[in-house]
């Protein structure tokens, strides 16, 4: 599940442009050990293979270039300006040479012709938007993250192709970069009037909305590390995100589907275009589907195959994905469509042309996820724990020499640990792990055992000089957690993170290390409270989801020993709910009313949405008569006072304030 940071319009764009980082200390150069590591890797890479660049440029009609796409505020929603440094073919010392090559190939942008009647808009966002020309109008697949970039992409298409109406939008899956810009290509009014339909896999709404609510605040904060939006673009900063360059900063919208794909193989005809849909739940997304277009001999693998090894567990957090099912979905696509496809496209990166190359690509992708699964589980069953398995895990040469299986977005060691977690959880079976001290307490005892901060810092600096950055990062992090005000320790930890970032092949790992270094040097960025919701997402929340969200905001200490029952009546929708507080747990019972409730709250769903969007508040709505309370009004006030708000920009690479 890709969850994105949403905050004040244009603010992320300002950071992406480096404006807010202008006064920050300059990143350090690559150390000799980093230069040596990157040069050693370069000798192992198939650099003579230029196919990725040919594929990434093929079919280009007009490039986007570095034109800025206006956002809802003063800052652009999107611009590729700042990536000019990637024009150099030779990787600098501060970037892994494999990642540098991928970042250069990933720079392609604009309108591309895939084949007759199929076009892609690439480089307008993290994801691609695909356009299929139907008999009377257009079928748009995955309208990017925000409306501004989706509209700009469609405008570029119309500049070169007939301006026909959008008659269908297809969401390939539940991650926001595949639906957030929908109102930039079609209006809700046209959908409501039946002029356009929205097609999505079964379970789409529950997953698309749910992932942005329950754990959304934590995921949003962590996503800043994964995608590097706050890092300056450059050889010592953000160079790529693996699946694309970065994430747009505009207006996020959502129009619910009007047609769901529910069958394992479902054939539909949309505006004269035959489409074979195949859902792939539980792999890259909980609700996802691939498509085959038999008239055009084109296979669309959505995000099940890209030009990267993907994440089995995103660094921002999610449920661990199933690599075994993932490999089987690819195997099924290979069996059914491999010999019948002249082109393979995806909703990230660039296509693959030619039946033989399509088959070869699918086989390598299939075998990558199968190998990850099988070999991790084999060693797991021999008693090795996740960290031990990951340490020496390598792909076989036949996969390691294939560019599309390199972990530019996923991270090999992280994926191996994720498989271990999927089967066995965090616990490594060593009882010492069951009651291990939390980070601050463990750090203080460790530093004490090692002779105190001064002695540890001296030894860590010596190891840094020897290029032992992994160990220095661990030890210096302990120093920081033992004493967050220890400036020399913070600087050493930042230096170690930086060198590890420079060596990382994974764009997301690089971003994480460099963002961590930045925060150790400059402190936690001062941004507004992060939110993963928009008006469309709020309106799409079921009441069950809304009350579940209240449950995870309940402060258990404040609720201790208290009990109450509150009826909720929604006068416009006719829905009734009972919210019960007991044993410091908040429980929702839908389609019910409790006769002995402490209070009954009556309101419209529109009023609840306005409160959720902070357009009003409970007290203001009560004062305005938009909410009425029968019974003990003070019970509602008491309940609201027990709810915590998410802190937003909480510390990540340093300790949180003590509770």
Q: Phi/psi class of residue 144: alpha, beta or left (left: φ > 0; alpha: ψ in -120 to 50)?
A: left
Instruction: State pLDDT tens for residues 117-143.
Output: 999 999 999 999 999 999 999 999 999
DSSP H stretches of helix in 107-192: 147-160, 188-192
Across 6-13, average pLDDT: 35
Give the pLDDT of residue 11: 33
pLDDT range class, residue 530, cuts 50, 70, 90: low
- Residue 657, pLDDT above cutoff 90: no
Is residue 3 over pLDDT 90?
no
Rg (the chain; Cα; Å): 26
pLDDT tens sequence across 174-230: 999 999 999 999 999 999 999 999 999 999 999 998 887 888 888 989 999 999 999
Is the whole-model pTM more than 0.85?
Answer: yes
β strands within 164-238, DSSP E: 166-170, 197-201
How far apart are alpha carbons 343 and 299 in whole angstroms?
6
Could you tell me the pLDDT band of residue 531, with boundaries at 50, 70 and 90? low
pLDDT in the model for residue 15: 36
d(CA 148, CA 12): 15
Written as one string, the DSSP assignment of 248-306 is: --S-------SEEE-SSSEEEEETTEEEEEEE-TTSSSSSBEEEEETTTTEEE-TTTS-
Of all residues in the chain, the percent with pLDDT exceeding 90 is 90
- How far apart (Å, rounded) are the C-alpha atoms in residues 290 and 266? 11
pLDDT band at 12 (very low <50, low <70, confident <90, very high): very low
With cut-offs at 50, 70 and 90, classify the pLDDT of residue 90: very high
Residue 2, pLDDT above cutoff 60: no
Phi/psi-derived region of residue 428, left when phi > 0, alpha when psi is between -120 and 50, beta in every other case: alpha
Tell me: the pLDDT tens digits for 306-358? 999 999 999 999 999 999 999 999 999 999 999 999 999 999 999 999 999 99
pLDDT, one tens digit per residue, over 620-656 is 999 999 999 999 999 999 999 999 987 778 999 999 8
- pLDDT of 186: 98
pLDDT at 13: 39
Which residues, listed in sequence order, are joined to residue 300 by a DSSP beta bridge? 291, 345
**What are the structure tokens assigned to 143, written together?**
């309208």
The values of phi and psi at residue 352, to 5°, are -120, 130
What value does the mean pLDDT take over residues 49-77? 96
Max Cα separation, the chain? 77
What is the predicted pLDDT for the residue at 550? 93
> Which is nearest to 299 in space by CA: 472, 484, 125, 114?
114
Q: What is the pLDDT of residue 658?
A: 73
What span, in angstroms and rounded, lies between the C-alpha atoms of 168 and 139? 5
Residue 25's pLDDT is 82
SS3 content of the chain, % helix, strand, coil (to 5): 40, 15, 45
Neighbouring CB atoms inside 10 A of 636's CB total 22
Question: pLDDT tens, 221-260?
Answer: 999 999 999 999 999 999 999 999 999 999 999 999 999 9
Environment class of residue 628 by beta-carbon count within 10 Å: exposed (0-12), middle (13-18) or buried (19+)? middle
| Encoded tokens for 388 | 């031990």
pLDDT exceeds cutoff 80 at 371: yes
- pLDDT tens digits along 496-505: 999 999 999 9
Q: What is the pLDDT of residue 23?
A: 63
Beta bridge partners of 656: none
Kindly tell me the burial class for residue 26, based on how many C-beta atoms sit within 10 Å of its own C-beta (0-12, 13-18, 19 or more): exposed
> Residues 582-628: pLDDT tens digits?
999 999 999 999 999 999 999 999 999 999 888 999 899 999 999 99
Q: Is the pLDDT of residue 489 over 90?
A: yes
Name, in order, each residue with C-beta under 8 angstroms of 285's C-beta and a sequence gap of 6 or more.
Answer: 1, 173, 174, 175, 207, 303
Residues 279 and 288: their CA atoms lie apart, in Å, by 6
pLDDT > 70 fraction of the chain, expressed in percent and rounded? 96
Q: What is the dihedral of CA 98, 516, 497, 43, to 10 degrees?
A: 0
How confident is the model at residue 215, as a pLDDT? Answer: 86
């Amino acid at each position: 599940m890709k969850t994105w940071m949403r905050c004040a319009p244009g603010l992320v764009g300002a950071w992406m442009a480096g404006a807010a980082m202008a006064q920050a200390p300059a990143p350090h150069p690559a150390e000799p050990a980093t230069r040596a590591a990157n040069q050693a890797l370069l000798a192992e890479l198939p650099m003579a293979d230029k196919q990725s660049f040919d594929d990434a440029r093929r079919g280009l009609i007009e490039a986007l270039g570095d034109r800025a796409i206006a956002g809802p505020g003063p800052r652009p929603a999107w611009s590729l300006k700042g990536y000019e440094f990637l024009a150099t073919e030779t990787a600098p010392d501060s970037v892994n040479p494999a990642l540098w090559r991928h970042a250069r190939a990933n720079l392609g942008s604009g309108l591309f012709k895939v084949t007759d009647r199929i076009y892609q808009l690439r480089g307008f966002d993290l994801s691609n938007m695909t356009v299929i020309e139907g008999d009377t109008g257009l079928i748009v697949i995955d309208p990017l993250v925000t409306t501004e970039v989706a509209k700009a992409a469609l405008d570029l298409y119309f500049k070169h192709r007939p301006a026909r109406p959008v008659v269908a939008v297809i969401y390939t899956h539940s991650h926001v970069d595949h639906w957030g810009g929908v109102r930039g290509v079609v209006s809700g009014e046209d959908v409501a009037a039946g002029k356009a339909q929205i097609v999505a896999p079964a379970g789409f709404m529950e997953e698309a909305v749910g992932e942005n609510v329950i754990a959304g605040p934590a995921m949003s904060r962590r996503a800043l590390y994964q995608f590097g939006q706050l890092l300056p673009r450059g050889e010592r900063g953000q160079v790529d995100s693996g699946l694309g360059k970065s994430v747009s900063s505009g207006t996020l919208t959502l129009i619910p589907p009007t047609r769901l794909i529910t069958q394992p193989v479902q054939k539909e005809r949309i505006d004269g275009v035959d489409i074979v849909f195949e859902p792939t739940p539980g792999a890259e997304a909980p609700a996802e589907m691939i498509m085959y277009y038999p008239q055009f001999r084109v296979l669309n693998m959505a995000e099940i195959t890209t030009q990267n090894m993907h994440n089995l567990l995103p660094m921002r957090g999610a449920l661990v994905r199933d690599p075994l099912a993932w490999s089987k979905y690819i195997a099924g696509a290979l069996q059914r469509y491999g010999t019948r496809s002249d082109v393979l496209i995806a909703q990230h990166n660039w296509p693959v042309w030619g039946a033989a190359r399509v088959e070869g690509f699918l086989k390598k992708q299939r075998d990558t996820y199968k190998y990850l699964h099988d070999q991790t589980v084999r060693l797991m069953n021999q008693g090795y724990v996740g960290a031990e398995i990951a340490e020496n895990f390598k792909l076989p040469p036949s996969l390691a020499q294939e560019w599309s299986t390199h972990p530019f977005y996923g991270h090999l060691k992280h994926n191996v640990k994720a498989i271990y977690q999927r089967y066995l959880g965090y616990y490594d079976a060593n009882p010492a792990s069951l009651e291990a001290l939390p980070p601050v307490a463990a750090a203080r005892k460790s530093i004490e055992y090692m002779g105190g901060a001064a002695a540890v810092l001296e030894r860590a600096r010596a190891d840094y000089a020897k290029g032992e950055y992994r160990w220095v990062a661990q030890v210096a992090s302990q120093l920081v957690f033992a004493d967050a005000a220890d400036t020399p320790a913070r600087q050493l930890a930042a230096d170690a993170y930086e060198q590890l970032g420079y060596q990382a092949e994974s764009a997301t790992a690089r971003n994480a290390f460099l963002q961590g270094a930045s925060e150790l040097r400059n402190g936690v960025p001062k941004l507004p409270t992060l939110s993963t919701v928009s008006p469309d997402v709020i309106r799409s929340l079921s009441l069950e989801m809304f009350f579940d969200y209240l449950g995870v905001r309940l402060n258990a200490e404040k609720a201790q020993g208290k009990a109450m029952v509150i009826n909720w009546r929604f006068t416009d929708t006719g829905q009734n709910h009972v919210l019960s507080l007991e044993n410091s747990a908040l429980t929702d019972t839908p389609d019910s009313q409790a006769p002995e409730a402490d209070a009954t709250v009556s309101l419209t769903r529109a009023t609840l949405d306005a409160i959720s969007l902070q357009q009003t508040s409970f007290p203001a709505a009560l004062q305005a008569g938009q909410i009425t309370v029968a019974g003990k009004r003070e019970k509602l006030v008491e309940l609201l006072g027990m709810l915590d708000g998410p802190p937003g920009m909480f510390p990540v690479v340093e300790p949180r304030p003590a509770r």
